[in-house]
Amino acid sequence: MLNSYQEAVEYIHALPKFHRTNKLDRIKDALNKLGNPQNDYPTIHVTGTNGKGTVCNYLSNLFEANGQRVGMFTSPFIKVFNERIQVNHTMISDSDLLQLVNYIIDKIDLNTLSEFEFVTCMGFLYFRDRVDVAIIEVGIGAKHDKTNVITPDVSVITSIAMDHEQLIGPTIQDIAVEKAGIIKEHTPLVTGFLQDSVRGIVLEQAHSLNSSVYEYNHGFNIDNLKINDFEITFEFDEVPVKIKGIEKTTAINACIAIQTFMCYQEKYKENYDLQQIVSQIDNHKIMARLQIVNKNPLVILDGAHNLAAIKNLINSLTTNEPNKDIIIMYAGMKDKDRHDILDFLTDNTKKVYVTSLSMPRAAKLNDYDLSKYSNIVYVENHFSCLNNLMKEISKNQILLVLGSFYLVSDFESYFS
């Protein structure tokens, strides 16, 4: 019996990160012992290389605006573990988390689950009797992800690009096959933009399962897009939408969420005022997505950690702030395409400070070849570097922290 919240979180983090196989047998067995709580409420399942968390947050805002109790299961967390399990944007309490962990330990065999399997069981169990619908974000991939034990009312693929190649690659086609594993028979699928190299894979899987597809640019779209001063406005099916951001992909993510909401409500024949509900799509913000933590000098935190996301972010920031130089603070993981990322950053920003984190996955100095770059510097202590930068950066420069949610978490706490 664990006696405190801290003990419960430490227990979770002490569980193995992965098992040798990617089968779903263990989590299915555990959920069966817990009474299969994941089957007690409607769900929406969300995967994608980038944009998952943003779409989940927009969806939660839409359902809340419609008066529904909505659960949101996401990862990773930025400041506290409790962020991963929320109902109507209220995190699970410390006491509920402790009680939940003890309950699961009592019901299942010890040491049978990985960390993510255990947390997934927690989310499914916590939502039972608390929500009208739960939005479930995958951890990695989809087909073999531990959340893929639900039969959702709508499936979502936000985007497909190169990431986690060692686990679900190595090619983008392999990644597409894995992501398409989220599609279920006779279940609507909503997607963002799908490039030609993967589009056929997704559509063929949906067709084989008789699942209707609502695809960005081939079924729903953005009209009258305008981006100015970190604000995006556009129209979706003649309904005006206003959100914070600078990237077109953010507008696409909002469209994905609206289309998903509409598909869900259509299934349950619910009446709703789309314009009134969409007006509240940006009600609750999430951390580490173009998060401005300081205005003078301008400091932005963003969890972009793969090449596709970083390219979108830098290109959009350059377009929106053409007269400002971008200074980067970056930390990469060993399993990321960090060399391609640095090649892009060195060509498109003024200076890059590379640092590391105190965790096994984090790339250290000897994992890089920085000698070929003229504007990249390695720093051991990112807080010390930040303190110096805050004194040096001018109003014509932007400090952008990216590459890892863990690095962003450190700086979010610093500015908080």
- In the predicted model, is pLDDT for residue 293 greater than 90? yes
| Mean pLDDT over the full length of the chain | 95
Cα–Cα distance, 241 to 275 (Å, whole number): 8
- Dihedral Cα 92, 98, 101, 107, nearest 10 deg: -120
Q: Is the pLDDT of residue 168 over 90?
A: no
| pLDDT (0 to 100) of residue 335 | 79
Peptide bond into 76 cis (omega under 30): yes
Where does residue 257 fall: left (phi above 0), alpha (psi -120 to 50 degrees), or beta otherwise?
alpha
Q: How confident is the model at residue 162, as a pLDDT?
A: 86
If DSSP codes are grouped into helix, strand and coil, which group holds residue 244? strand
For 220-265, write each residue's pLDDT tens digit: 999 999 999 999 999 999 999 999 999 999 999 999 999 999 999 9
What pLDDT, in 10s, does the model give residues 310-368? 999 999 999 999 999 999 999 998 877 889 999 999 999 999 999 999 988 899 999 99
209: confidence class by pLDDT, cuts 50, 70, 90? very high
Q: How far is CA 13 from CA 8, 231, 297, in A?
A: 9, 38, 36
Rounded Cα distance between 369 and 170, Å, is 23
pLDDT at 57 over 80: yes
Task: Convert the pLDDT of each residue in 33-51 to its tens digit.
Answer: 999 999 999 999 999 999 9
pLDDT tier at 112 (50, 70, 90 boundaries)? confident
Three-state SS string over 4-48 comes to CHHHHHHHHHHCCCCCCCCCCHHHHHHHHHCCCHHHCCCEEEEEC
Please name each of the domains of the chain with its CATH number: 5-278 (3.40.1190.10), 291-415 (3.90.190.20)
Question: Could you give the CA distance from residue 202 to residue 212 in angstroms, rounded to a whole number?
Answer: 12
Q: What is the pLDDT of residues 399-415, one digit of tens each?
A: 999 999 999 999 998 89
Q: Residue 102: helix, strand or coil by DSSP? A: helix
pLDDT band at 90 (very low <50, low <70, confident <90, very high): very high
Q: Residue 49, SS3?
A: coil
Over range 277-296, report the average pLDDT.
95
Which tokens hold the place of 125? 């169990």
Mean pLDDT in residue range 116-124: 97
Give the pLDDT mean for 61-68: 98
In this predicted model, what pLDDT tens digit does every residue of 10-28 receive, in sequence order?
Answer: 999 999 987 767 889 999 9
